[in-house]
Every structure is written in structure tokens, then in C-alpha cells.
Amino acid sequence: MDYAQSHSVVMKSVADLHIIRFDQAWAKDGHVLLRYTAEGSHCGEPYKGIPKTGRHAKWAAAAIFEVKDGKIASFTKDWDQKTMQVCMWLMVY
């Protein structure tokens, strides 16, 4: 799955997702790192089978992109899914 596809899965569930701030950003030797804080509400489509809850959460995330010929060749994304899930989804059950 490429970055756009991966991000669209979350955006469909967290339709009001936005980045609060970029905590770190740098580029070197064909790689770009972004570490950021984001927030949003589970107000869209079901996420991993869990219906929308309307709950709001804030979480930290980081992405490292490998760039070749001006395009993203690969990426690694890591984010605090547990914080997001506890705030938005797990408390529903």
C-alpha cells in the first residue's frame, strides 16, 4: 500500500483529521522525516469494523519517506494508534 492509500484509510474514518504541529522535519540524502502531532474525531466511515463514535483524540506520528526522482519511492509510518484507539474506539465497548 502506498502512502496516499494508507492515509486515505484513516481520512475516511477521521474526516476532520488535521495536523496540529510539526514537531520535527528534516531531509537528507533522499530521505524526509516528519514527526507531527495530529487530532481528529471518528466521524466518518467505520475503522477496522468499528462504527463511528464521534469521539475526539490527539496522537503523535512520524513518517520517513524515501524520495527518488522527486517522487515518494517508499515510506515507513509509525503513529500512536493505541492512544487514538483508546480515545475513539475501545471505550465504546
CA distance 90 to 49: 12
> What pLDDT, on the 0 to 100 scale, is given for residue 89?
63
What's the pTM value of the predicted model, to 2 decimals? 0.70
pLDDT at residue number 77: 83
For the segment 10-65, what is each residue's pLDDT rounded down to a tens digit?
888 888 888 999 999 999 999 999 999 989 998 888 877 888 888 888 888 899 99
What pLDDT score does 92 carry? 52
Nearest to 15 by CA among 38, 36, 35, 45: 45
58, 20 Cβ separation under 8 angstroms: yes
* Residue 7: per-residue pLDDT: 75
Residue 49 CA to residue 60 CA, distance in Å, equals 23
pLDDT at residue 8, rounded to an integer: 82
Neighbours of 75 (CB within 10 A): 18
Please state, in angstroms and rounded to a whole number, the distance separating the CA atoms of residues 80 and 86.
10
